[in-house]
Amino acid sequence: MHSFIDHGSLLLRMIIFILLGANVDFAIVKQFFLPGLIIIAVFMLLARPIAVLACVSPDRRARWERNEILFMFWTRETGVIPAALSGMLIGMKVPYADVIAAITFMAILATLIIQASTTRWLAAKLGLLEEYPDKVTTL
């Protein structure tokens, strides 16, 4: 059952991203490229850290360390919820939904290219990686 749910969930996420990509108007991406990058930078460098601090500050029992909080500033979700919401806006024919979808598409690409590719490096720099011994096989 767990395997079915995991595979079904993965398939649905892939479908959401495919639908978002299919609905992106690249002329709009080109038109709003610079403003889109500014919006993405604000979300990545200001909004996410503020949201993380707002969530971890009241959680005193967890005793978050500074390096763990810094790591949470950089890590992100895949963007499946914004992708699904922008798809809903397009389906509802909300004004400027095409612009929202284009910037959402840019944001997902930017976080995947910039943040996903550097997550392991940052975790190592912050001393958050755990070393696991090689698996020992026994007969």
Radius of gyration of the chain (CA): 19
Provide the residue count of the chain. 139
pLDDT computed for residue 2 by the predictor: 85
* Low-confidence residues in the chain, pLDDT < 50: 139
pLDDT computed for residue 10 by the predictor: 84
pLDDT computed for residue 87 by the predictor: 83
pLDDT computed for residue 80 by the predictor: 80
Give me the amino acid identity at 84: A
Backbone angles phi, psi at 78, to 5 degrees: -75, -20
- Model pTM? 0.75
pLDDT computed for residue 17 by the predictor: 79
